[in-house]
Amino acid sequence: MNEMVGKACPVIANHIKIALVGQPNVGKSMLINSVSNAHLHVGNFSGVTVDKTEVLFDYGDYHFTVVDLPGTYAFTDYTIEERVTHEYLCTQSYDLIINVVDSTNLAKNLQLSSELMSMNKNVVIALNMSDEAEKEGINIDSEYMSELLGIPCVKVSAATKMGIEDLLEAIIKVKEQESQNAKLIFSEPVEEEIAQIVWYLEKHKYGAKNTYRNVAINLLKNNKQTYQRIHDNPIWIELQPILVEATKHIELHHDSDDIKEAFAEEYASFNRGIVAEVIKEEKKAEKKTLTEKIDSILIHQMFGIPIFLFFMWSLFQLTFEIGAIPMDYIDGFFGWFGDTIGATISNDDIRSLVVDGIIAGVGAVVLFVPNIIILFIGISLLESTGYMSRVAFLLDGFFHKFGLHGQSFIPLVTGFGCSIPAYMSARILKNDRDRLLTLFIIGFMSCGARLPVYVLFAGAFFSPEMAGNVLFIIYISGALMGLAAAKVLKLTAFKGVDEPFVMEMPKYRLPSAKLIWHTVLTKTMMYLKKAGTFIAAAAMLIWFLSNYPKNLILEESYASKIEIAVDAKEKIVLENELAKSLLEQSYLGTIGKFSEPIFEPLGFDWKMSVALQTGLAAKEVVVSTLGVLYSLGADVDEENNSLKDAISSQISFASAISFIVVIMIYLPCLAASIVFTKEAGGIRYFFYLFAFTSITAYVMAFIAYNIALLFG
C-alpha cells in the first residue's frame, strides 16, 4: 500500500476523502506519514501543522485523500489554526473524519471527540500511541468503546505502524455502510430538554440535513449556523420561548450562567463515564513519571534558565568546532576543482566565469554545509523532544516584560533555522497584535542562511577558540536586540492588553533517529539545491556585473607597464592594481560606488555595500558575492587564496563588526519577505518591516562601528 503515494487515481477506484482531526500533538502528521509514507513535518509541541495539507495514497480498491488539519483542543476558534480546522469541517465536503486521540490521555482527548460526534458526520476514532499507553499500564478496551460510542475505535501506533491496516479497513467499512449512529448521552435534565425540542421539530416536520437530535443540541449550544438557518423559518416564533426555558433549566442545573460552560461539563462527565468503562488502568504505586523527573531539573526555578543558556552555548560551540573540521577539505576541494576545470578551458572569459564566478560563488556557500547540518540537528532536537515548550514556560515571565507572549518563543526559535516556517508558526498566537509583533521581530533571530556570514567573519577575525563564543554572542545579542525592539513596538505600534498564556507541556519523547535524520536531510538538501540553482545563477550574474563593461584602454595601458617592469614584485603590484581598477569601473563597481556614500559612515567599502544589497535576494548570496568580488581582486596574490584570508587582510575589524550588525538586523531574504507579507496580511506591512529593519540596522551598525573604532 505504501508505494503508491501520489499515484494518479485509477478511474475504477472509489474515492474516500478523509478529514484528519485531533487535539494538538497527538501525532496526526506522524499517523499520515506512517499510513502513506509521506514526509510531513513532525514535532513535539502544539502547532506544528498550521495549515491544512493533503496527502494521497491507495489502499485496497480505494483511492484515499487525507487532509491533515491543524490540531484543535475544541471548537472554540481560539487561534487562527483552530479556525482553519473548524471552518474546514463545517463547510467542506468529505466522507468521514478520523479523530486521532492520544491513548495516554483519553479523557481530555474525548472532549473534542464528543464535539465531533454531534456534527452528524461519520467518525472513526484512531486510538494513537496505544503502545505507549500500554507501557504506562493503561489498557483500553477498544471494542467495548466502539460499542458504547457507536463509532469504530481502532488502536494504532503511528510510531510503530501498529494497527494501521485495521484503521484503513475500519474506514472502508464505514464508507460502505454510509450512515452511522453516534451515541452521545447527556445528563437527564439536558436529555429532557433535547427530547422536547426534537418532539417540537418532528411535529412541525422541520426540514434539516442534520438529525433532529443534533439540531436540538446545536440550538442549545448556541451554534450560530444552526440559529441562522432556523431563524428564517416560521417555527422560530414558537421555538424561541422553548429554547429560552430549556437554556434556563440547564444553566440552573449546572449552577452556571454560561451555557457553553454547562455543555463543556456535560461532555466532560460523559467522557468520564466512557473512560471509566473502557480503561483498565493497572494501579501503579504513585511515583513520579520520567517527564516529571526531567522537568524538576530542566525547569527548575533557579537552574532552568542557566541550563537553557548552556544548551544554546554548546550548540553554537559545536556548530563552529565540529563544523570547522571538514571545512578545510571542502575549501581545498573547490580550490582544486576550480584549478582542474580552469586548466581545461582555453577561453579566458569562460574560464573566469566558471572558476571565479560559479565555482567560487557556489563553493563559498557549500563550505558552510557542515555548520548548517549541526544547527539543524540542534533545532530539530529542540522541536522533537518537547523541550521547546519548557523554554516557553521558563521565558514567558521574561518575554512578558518585553510585551511578548511566551508562546512567541516557538516561532522565534524556529527563526534560528529559517524565517519562513517561523512566520507561519506565528499562527499559534491567538491575538493578531501579538502575532504581528512576533512577525516583526522574527528577523532578529538570525536564520541558518546568515550563519555562513558569521562563521566567515568570526573565523577571519577571531582565534578558533574564541570563534564559537563569538557565534553565541552574535545569536544572543540578536535575540536581545529583538526583545528590545519588541518592547519599543509594543509601546508604540502594538499597544494593547496582554493575552492569556495557557499552554500544554507535552511529554518528553526520545526522538527517533530516523525522524531527525529525515528533517535534517530535507533541510540540508534544500540548502544545497539552493546553492546549485539560485546561488549559482546569482554568482554568474554577479560575475558578469563585475567583469563588464571591459575597458580595453585600461588593460592595454597596464599591459605595456607590466611589460616594462623588470622586477617580479613590481609586476604583481601592477597586476593587482589593474584588477582593482577594472573591478571598480565594472557595472557592479558603479553600483557599489554609487551606494558607497550611504554606507561610508558604517565603514563599508563598495564591495561590502554590494554584498549587502545582493543579500536582499538571499543571505547565502552575501558570502558568494564576497567570494566572487574578493577572489577577482586578490587572486593574483598567491598567498591569499582563501576568502577568509582575503577578508581579514582587506577589511578592518570595526568595519567587520558593523557589517555583522547589519546582517543580523536588516531585511530577511526575498522568499521570507514574501511569506511575511502574506502572514502579516498586506503589502503595507512589508514596507513597515523594510523601514523598521533598515533604520534599526543602520543606527545599530553606526553605533557598533564607532565603538569598535574606539577599541580597535
Binding site for another protein (CB under 8 A): 73-74, 76, 78, 104-105, 107-108, 111-112, 256, 258, 260-261, 264-265, 268, 291-292, 295-296, 299-302, 304-305, 389, 392-394, 396-398, 400, 406, 498, 500-505
Decide: 69 and 26 in contact? Cβ < 8 Å: no
Report in angstroms how near the CB of residue 408 gets to another protein at its nearest.
Answer: 13
- List the one residue out of 26, 43, 54 whose CA is nearest residue 113: 26
Report in angstroms how near the CB of residue 140 gets to another protein at its nearest.
Answer: 13
- The smaller minimum CB distance to another protein, of residues 32 and 140, is found at 140
- What residue has cell string 540553482? 533
Buried b or exposed e, range 667-688, using 16+ CB within 10 angstroms: bbbeebbebbbebbeeeebbeb
For the chain, the first-to-last Cα distance in angstroms comes to: 66
Report in angstroms how near the CB of residue 322 gets to another protein at its nearest.
Answer: 32
Integer Cα distance of 460 and 607 in angstroms: 17
Report in angstroms how near the CB of residue 284 gets to another protein at its nearest.
Answer: 13
Integer Cα distance of 628 and 360 in angstroms: 6
Count of other CB atoms within 10 angstroms of residue 552: 9
- The smaller minimum CB distance to another protein, of residues 183 and 288, is found at 288
- The smaller minimum CB distance to another protein, of residues 244 and 502, is found at 502
Integer Cα distance of 121 and 210 in angstroms: 9
- The smaller minimum CB distance to another protein, of residues 99 and 640, is found at 99
- The smaller minimum CB distance to another protein, of residues 411 and 633, is found at 411
Decide: 45 and 25 in contact? Cβ < 8 Å: yes
Backbone angles phi, psi at 246, to 5 degrees: -60, -45
3-state secondary structure of 232: coil
- The smaller minimum CB distance to another protein, of residues 387 and 698, is found at 387
- The smaller minimum CB distance to another protein, of residues 257 and 638, is found at 257
Count of other CB atoms within 10 angstroms of residue 472: 19
Report in angstroms how near the CB of residue 305 gets to another protein at its nearest.
Answer: 7
Report in angstroms how near the CB of residue 106 gets to another protein at its nearest.
Answer: 9
Report in angstroms how near the CB of residue 309 gets to another protein at its nearest.
Answer: 13
- The smaller minimum CB distance to another protein, of residues 238 and 277, is found at 277
Report in angstroms how near the CB of residue 104 gets to another protein at its nearest.
Answer: 6
Report in angstroms how near the CB of residue 410 gets to another protein at its nearest.
Answer: 12
Helix H segments across 565-614?
Answer: 568-584, 587-599, 606-614
State the SS3 of 95-154. Answer: CEEEEEEEHHHHHHHHHHHHHHHCCCCCEEEEEECHHHHHHCCEEECHHHHHHHHCCCEE
Name, in order, each residue with C-beta under 8 angstroms of 632's C-beta and a sequence gap of 6 or more. 356, 546, 547, 579, 583
Report in angstroms how near the CB of residue 59 gets to another protein at its nearest.
Answer: 33
- The smaller minimum CB distance to another protein, of residues 217 and 643, is found at 217
Sheet holding 62-68, edge to edge: 53-59, 62-68, 14-22, 96-102, 123-128, 153-155
Integer Cα distance of 82 and 158 in angstroms: 23
Grid cell listed for 439:
512577525
- The smaller minimum CB distance to another protein, of residues 503 and 536, is found at 503
- The smaller minimum CB distance to another protein, of residues 408 and 625, is found at 408
